[in-house]
Amino acid sequence: MMYHTSLIHIILEPVIRLVTARGDGREVIMSPLFYLISVLFLSSICGANSWSVFKSSLYGLVECTHDKNANMSVDEVQIYLYDFQNQMNFTFKIDAALDGITSQYNLDVSRRLILYVPGFKSNIYKPNEELIRQTFKDVKNIYLIMIDHSAYTNGNGGKVKSYERSVSYAYYIGKALGQFLAGLHEKGYPTKNIHCIGHSLGAQMLGYAGVMYYNKTSEKIPRITGLDPAGPCFSNALIDEQIRSGVADYVEVYHCNAGGLGTTAVLADADFFFNRGRKQPTCLHSVYLSIPGYGEYESAKCSHKACVRLWAASVGQPNWYLAWACNTYENFQAGSCAGNQMTLAGYWNPGNATGIFYVSTYGYEV
């Protein structure tokens, strides 16, 4: 038996209230995360589709604003510059980064500049950030810049409230990044050598950064790569609030948890779907998956984070990954799109393919 999501919430409301009741008769406000897991658990008993309920419940929990007139300060954002070839690194707050880098360090403008912007609840010491450092440390003729915006995007205050707060800062952080890169350009760093990569909320920030860079320089960043751009508060927002075609010369987006923590919007020059783009193979064997409700939540987190690992694995593999243009994953699996346009997905994507592409990571060592 399948229940409509809104009906499930009505049926479950008395149960939720019972769970949150105190011994003295007063009701305690349930945390949004516990509410989400409770809904998933109880809806699984009702026979509802857990993915549909998860998506509906998650997107219904968050209420965000995209206010571009709030003039919010982001001066605590940190810029980390890594020169692996010379075993040097520098750290500056964003407002001081341009002068600090250009006055203390002689940048080699022939090198590529890789800018990485992480997502919600990240910081420079998290596993995915360390993965990016390790991935690029042996790549020749590049600088790596990593952003730590955790002063504004941490989990303090509860997951939902802190996410809503983080979204409100996304425009201002992206704007500041665009201004920083434009400042480097003014100091002589060529636009053609810049490649920006963002995960989750960081990918959405880069949409704003690309626009700001163009407004300041009249040039577009050559490539912006979005790794499972954040979905909640963005998928259904106005297009100007999302990473999209036009914010760089070439915008590529990789989908790993579309409809969950990642966006469903297909707005880039090229949208690549890893393994359908919803659940990743390495996230299907967790012990948590056997727990009704909690399994869907853990699977979403795992698949969302996996996008960084899958993309980063291609940096050292010039032939990874083969991707085919296709209208549906079912047709891709059936081989119906084998004669369609083929390209490489990942770091070595040549940047001339447009449309929707599907990628299978089976057979690759990831």
What string of DSSP letters covers 264-295?
Answer: ----SSEEEEEGGGTS-GGGSS-GGGGSTTHH
Does residue 17 or residue 109 have the better pLDDT? 109
| 150 DSSP 8-state letter | H
Q: Token pair of 330, please? A: 């079912």
Listed residue (76, 197, 181, 183) closest to 133, CA to CA:
197
Which band of pLDDT confidence, cut at 50, 70 and 90, is reported for residue 158? Answer: confident
pLDDT tens sequence across 232-272: 999 989 999 999 999 999 999 999 999 999 999 999 999 99
Domains belonging to the chain, first-starting first, are: 5-61 (no CATH), 78-359 (3.40.50.1820)
What pLDDT score was predicted for residue 364?
86
Which band of pLDDT confidence, cut at 50, 70 and 90, is reported for residue 50? Answer: low
- Kindly tell me if the per-residue pLDDT of 33 is higher than 60: no
Which band of pLDDT confidence, cut at 50, 70 and 90, is reported for residue 24? Answer: low
Strand partners, 78: 93, 148
- Kindly tell me if the per-residue pLDDT of 57 is higher than 80: no
Q: What is the share, in percent, of the chain residues with pLDDT greater than 90?
A: 71
Does residue 231 or residue 30 have the better pLDDT? 231
For the segment 81-104, the average pLDDT, to the nearest whole number, is 95
Q: How far is CA 220 from CA 137, 192, 246, in A?
A: 27, 9, 8
Which band of pLDDT confidence, cut at 50, 70 and 90, is reported for residue 287? Answer: low
Total-model pTM: 0.85
Cβ atoms of 213 and 127 within 8 Å: the answer is no
- Going 322 to 328 to 331 to 337, the CA torsion angle's sign is negative
CA distance 5 to 3: 6
CA distance 237 to 163: 16
Residue 192 CB-half CA count within 13 A = 2
- Kindly tell me if the per-residue pLDDT of 6 is higher than 60: no
- Identity of the amino acid at 74: V
What pLDDT score was predicted for residue 291?
58
